[in-house]
Amino acid sequence: MAKDSKKHGIPELDKEVIKRIATKARDMRKNKGYSYEAFALHAGINRNTYFKFEKSATTGENFTVVTLLKVIHGLELSLSSFFEDL
């Protein structure tokens, strides 16, 4: 039996959810008046890691749950309130 050689990418539906999450976080950060560098410092996230997280708003690339949790805590929100309208 031949092994499937297809790449295991992120399904398009999941990419759209990732984009919505990253877009919401970016918009909330901006509304609080933070630059992305200042917010990364505030949230305890490496600035390059945070940059990649926000870039997910356009690329749909995956990010870690740990990064997402730090972003949500940095925004001073609970998980349920962050995801309430997604």
Query: What are the residue ranges spanned by the domains of the chain?
Result: 35-86
Q: CA-to-CA distance for 39 and 20, rounded, in angstroms?
A: 19
Please tell me the predicted confidence (pLDDT) of residue 8. Answer: 55
65-74 vs 12-31: helix crossing angle, rounded to 10: 30
- Residue whose entry in the numeric block shows the structure tokens 């349920």: 80
Please tell me the predicted confidence (pLDDT) of residue 9. Answer: 84
Tens digits of residue pLDDT in 3-38: 443 455 889 989 999 999 999 999 999 999 999 999
pLDDT tops 50 at residue 2:
no
Tens digits of residue pLDDT in 69-83: 999 999 999 999 999
Please tell me the predicted confidence (pLDDT) of residue 34. Answer: 98
